[in-house]
Chains A and B, each alone.
Chain A
Amino acid sequence: MRATHWRFLVRRLVGAVLTLLGVSVVVFVVLRVIPGDEITVMLGTEAAGLTDAQRASLEAYYGLGDPLVVQYFGWLGNVLTGNLGVSLRSGQPVGGLIANALPITVQLAVMATIIGVALGLAFGMLAASRPGGLRDATAQGFGLLGLGTPNFVVGAVLIAVLSTQFGYFPSAGDYVGFFESPAANVGQQIFPAITLGTALAAIVMRTTRGSYLDMWQQDFARTAVGKGVHPQRVRWRHVLHNALIPIVTITGIQFGYLLGGTVVVEEIFSLPGLGRLVLTGIVQRDFAVVQSTVLVIAALFVLVNFLVDLLYALIDPRVKLS
């Protein structure tokens, strides 16, 4: 490896650590700033009936008595040694909860990305093949629809149609891991993935169209055509290859968002993924769960960004790792 590569790696690593530290502080503080302590939230209106002694004993029971700074560094120290804490509510180790939820969310994000990119590329190319024509307008119309329709609407419509018309409800039973039964697993994930994928497809489509048309105008394309290369070959070999760079970038960023943005879809389709873990954690003020899960999501985001950078360099050798 060359020195520039090392420098790149070290710089990214330091950046990642700083980012994660920042996230940890923000999450920790925000959780404690929002009103409603965990005991009140847990007991609801019953909390009004607690005597001081009862409250103190509950706080001791759940380990909430320490000063905030002590709590923060205690948590951070534990995280560094791989101990993500214990959920106040379920009493289960947060590491285990995340280990169960993470594959579901990652798979959902991957499938949504595949669907989004496949549809987005196809429609984008279609639109770009004859800009201004009927095809273009139709594809762009779909794009707008995809961008403008919130996930929860797409999800709700999918469920409503599929369950009332076809009696098919995708996610009610036990969650089946991919390696247990790929077909059943994909069956459970496909509708949530389509729900998320359609929104992504719209973004990819617009990027593809724009970038493709842009590249088509570039000198190298004109030159190639001028030299007598078959336009189809130019289209696929040269233009698309170059147009891929912004598409990869946007897909990478969107993939990162998907990891953290599956909350709504996981809620609608009752998929026990990371999004639901965080959401329930926030509602229940289950600090350990929210803190550690958000940190893991942030770490994934950083990792994905890093991989996208690498991929970037792979597609286009002109891009320097710097």
Chain B
Amino acid sequence: MRATTPRAWLVLAIVGLMAVLLAACEADEAEDPEDPDDGPEEADDPEEADDPEEADDPDDPDEADDPDDDPDEEPDEAPAEGGTLEVARSADVDNLDPHLATAFQSREALELIYETLVEFDQDLNVVEGLAEDWEYTDDETLVFHLRDGVEFHDGGALTADDVVATVERLTDPDSGAVAGINFGTIESAEATDDHTVELSLSAADQTLPAAFADANAAIVPEEAIEAETFDDDPNGTGAFEFDEWDPGSVFRLSANDGYWRDGPFVDAVNIRVVPEQSSIAAGLQAGEFDIGVLEDPSIVLTLPEEEVDIHRPDALAYRTLMMNQEREPFDQEEVREAITCAIDREEVLESAALGEGRVTGPFTAPEWQFDPYGGLDCDPPDPDHAMDLLAEAGHEDGFEASAIINSDGYATAVDEGQVLQAQLAEVGIDLELEVLESGVYVDRWIEPDFDVAVALNGGRPDPHNMYARYFGLDGDLNDVATHESEEIDSLIADGLAEDDVEARQDIYREISEQLNADAPWAWLYTGFEYRITQPDVDGFVPFSDGSMRSLRDVSIGQ
């Protein structure tokens, strides 16, 4: 055999590699005939492109109230049927039991399988769901009238008994149901006939309808509770049926043909786990995904807006700097107020989140947003006033403190910490940053074992469900908030019982101002719940609570 020279070897190796590479590219293209590159061009159709914008308009309640009509409102074409919707997000489902699953990604996936008695519309008003009507017959009785003809995926009919069993599971402290905290006033549930459920309350509670709209309050069949089959056989009334969960990889759903609403318009939904957000962005640009869920503004801003639709509903979750009042000097109101005055929220938003969001006060839901600075002793930022306040509290030379930061919970955390560190340094406060992995952070947060915590707190559409737990004296997170105020506690109780919306707003405005005045935390900003869709995805409606239940209305254009 003649010897080959090294040069020939090199050429061989490179040619071989390139051949494999080319073969791979071609193979994939050949297998994907339904994904033509001309997809983005079709998006130039102005009507289609405008649609999401219109849906964003909060002044257009009709459209949001009745998403069912959406597909019919397209006069030029009927919704295209069929196809598989590929959804990409970075985290996996963590639990198939809708009452135990807390992670956003689980709730959002399970919402497609299970449904609730009532729902939120796009403006976060409570609208009908499995119940077509509900009423408070007196202060302490709430009655739900169920829709007729709704079936679970296994063919069983939805009855009042299922609702009663669900409510009993939700309110049973031993069940571990995470929404239980919102149903504390329910004493008993009773089926008065096949389609009517009567809840007896221990006290007036106007927040229950909103609490029943929560994904964690999904209605499950009575038999599933008895047989505990949530983990291997999810059986709901939703638009999609559970097919398969391949942990860490994909969560597969297929259309429920017997769904009681119009739709769904696609055959299947695959929710894929793509851990790296930049890989999701790349996949969206390559047309591999129909919908992508992103959190990091710096990655979203790299996406070409002319190629994909970027939906930016305001998030309910909010960034805040929590101060531990069990530690000095944060037990002094002047110190906390000084910190609040020293922080430039606009600058935090600009630097950490590239301006993607809005500065916020205590309440973040659309109907409950008041002046973010109302009740504060300064119109921030006001470092001079902050220094005066510090001097008043005996800290004219400043002090040292440390902040815990969640390193892997969300993208902007460390940046927020650094901006806050720089801003507080200007008034003499030396903030040391402790960047911690999620598990450690949560442990320290719960304890609470921190001076201050850079936090992302989840939001709820109803202010009661959001704030009673932190600032009500009996709240389950009151030990973490470390702020005890009789005044706020009694205002929270008033807000719970008040049935007039305007009167409720007055109460929550008062709470908001009082919270700013007490300054237990410095509220910073809310971001966006980014949802990125391909131009040929029709009927997608983004929600502030992150929900993707509009997938039941979505179709994929040709």
What is A's interface to B at a CB cutoff of 8 Å? 34-36, 40-49, 51, 53-54, 57-58, 61, 87, 89-92, 97, 100, 115, 118-119, 121-123, 125-126, 129, 156, 159-160, 162-164, 166-170, 172-175, 181, 183-184, 186-188, 190, 194, 230, 232-233, 235-236, 267-270, 272, 276-277, 280, 283-285
B24 touches A186 (CB 8 A): yes
Give the distance to chain B from A78, nearest Cβ to Cβ, in Å: 20
Q: Which of A34, A174, A230, A233 has the most CB of B within 10 A?
A: A174
Give the distance to chain B from A101, nearest Cβ to Cβ, in Å: 8
Contacts of B225 in A (CB 8 A): none
Give the distance to chain B from A104, nearest Cβ to Cβ, in Å: 10
A267 touches B103 (CB 8 A): no
Given contacts A122-B10, A123-B10, A163-B285, 17 further A-B contacts (CB under 8 A): A35-B439, A40-B443, A43-B178, A45-B477, A48-B446, A57-B176, A91-B231, A91-B232, A97-B248, A172-B86, A174-B250, A187-B25, A232-B5, A270-B274, A280-B92, A280-B247, A285-B439
B276 touches A173 (CB 8 A): no
B9 touches A54 (CB 8 A): no
A269 and B276 CA atoms in complex are apart in Å by 8
A277 and B249 CA atoms in complex are apart in Å by 10
Give the distance to chain A from B526, nearest Cβ to Cβ, in Å: 17
Contacts of A53 in B (CB 8 A): 173-174
B37 in contact (CB, < 8 A): yes
Q: State which of A90, A118, A268 has its C-beta within 8 Å of the C-beta of B247.
A: A90
Q: Are A118 and B16 CB-contacts (below 8 A) given A42-B102, A45-B442?
A: yes
Q: State which of B4, B25, B457 has its C-beta within 8 Å of the C-beta of A168.
A: B25
Contacts of A44 in B (CB 8 A): 102-103, 438, 442
Interface string of B142-155 (1 = CB under 8 A from A): 00000000000000
Which stretch (B286-294, B424-432, B533-541) binds chain A? Answer: B286-294
Contacts of B6 in A (CB 8 A): 122, 125-126, 129
Q: State which of A125, A167, A170, A183 has its C-beta within 8 Å of the C-beta of B9.
A: A125
B227 in contact (CB, < 8 A): no
A54 touches B24 (CB 8 A): no
**Which residues of chain B (174-216) have a CB below 8 Å from chain A?**
174-176, 178, 181
Contacts of A156 in B (CB 8 A): 278
Tally of contact residues, B, Cβ under 8 A: 74
What is B's interface to A at a CB cutoff of 8 Å? 3-7, 9-10, 13-14, 16-17, 20-21, 23-28, 31, 37, 86, 88, 92, 94-96, 102-103, 173-176, 178, 181, 231-232, 245-250, 270, 272-276, 278-279, 282-283, 285-289, 408, 437-440, 442-443, 445-446, 457-458, 469, 476-477, 479-480
A190 touches B288 (CB 8 A): no
CB-nearest residue of chain A to B94: A89
B279 touches A159 (CB 8 A): yes
A262 and B265 CA atoms in complex are apart in Å by 39
Tell me how many residue pairs across A and B have CB atoms closer than 8 Å: 194
A54 touches B174 (CB 8 A): yes
Contacts of B477 in A (CB 8 A): 45, 48-49
Q: State which of A46, A97, A276, A285 has its C-beta within 8 Å of the C-beta of B178.
A: A46
A72 and B4 CA atoms in complex are apart in Å by 57
B3 touches A184 (CB 8 A): no
What are 19 A-B pairs at a CB distance below 8 A? A42-B94, A48-B480, A89-B95, A90-B245, A119-B13, A125-B6, A126-B6, A163-B283, A167-B287, A169-B288, A173-B288, A181-B27, A186-B23, A190-B24, A194-B17, A233-B3, A270-B274, A270-B275, A280-B247
B469 touches A49 (CB 8 A): yes
A126 touches B10 (CB 8 A): yes
B276 touches A268 (CB 8 A): yes
Contacts of A170 in B (CB 8 A): 24, 28
A156 and B173 CA atoms in complex are apart in Å by 47
CB-based closest 5 A-B pairs: A36-B439, A187-B24, A172-B288, A183-B27, A49-B476
Contacts of A175 in B (CB 8 A): 249
Contacts of B443 in A (CB 8 A): 35-36, 40
A4 and B80 CA atoms in complex are apart in Å by 73
Q: Are A183 and B176 CB-contacts (below 8 A) given A122-B13, A173-B288, A175-B249?
A: no
Contacts of A97 in B (CB 8 A): 247-248
Q: Are A61 and B176 CB-contacts (below 8 A) given A167-B37, A270-B275?
A: yes
Contacts of A34 in B (CB 8 A): 439-440
A46 and B480 CA atoms in complex are apart in Å by 11
A280 touches B248 (CB 8 A): yes
A100 and B246 CA atoms in complex are apart in Å by 9
Contacts of A186 in B (CB 8 A): 20, 23-24, 27
B3 touches A35 (CB 8 A): no
Give the distance to chain B from A62, nearest Cβ to Cβ, in Å: 10
Give the distance to chain A from B484, nearest Cβ to Cβ, in Å: 16
A230 and B37 CA atoms in complex are apart in Å by 56
CB-nearest residue of chain B to A89: B94
Q: Which of A45, A118, A230 has the most CB of B within 10 A?
A: A45
Contacts of B480 in A (CB 8 A): 45, 48
B274 touches A172 (CB 8 A): yes
Contacts of A48 in B (CB 8 A): 445-446, 476-477, 479-480
Give the distance to chain B from A279, nearest Cβ to Cβ, in Å: 8
Contacts of A283 in B (CB 8 A): 408, 438-439
CB-nearest residue of chain A to B10: A122
Give the distance to chain B from A196, nearest Cβ to Cβ, in Å: 14
Contacts of A187 in B (CB 8 A): 23-25, 27-28
Contacts of A41 in B (CB 8 A): 438-439, 442
Contacts of B408 in A (CB 8 A): 283
A92 and B244 CA atoms in complex are apart in Å by 12
A190 and B24 CA atoms in complex are apart in Å by 8
Q: Are A190 and B279 CB-contacts (below 8 A) given A45-B446, A92-B247, A184-B28?
A: no
Q: Which of B3, B250, B274, B282 has the most CB of A within 10 A?
A: B282
A36 and B273 CA atoms in complex are apart in Å by 24
Q: State which of A51, A87, A122, A162 has its C-beta within 8 Å of the C-beta of B173.
A: A51
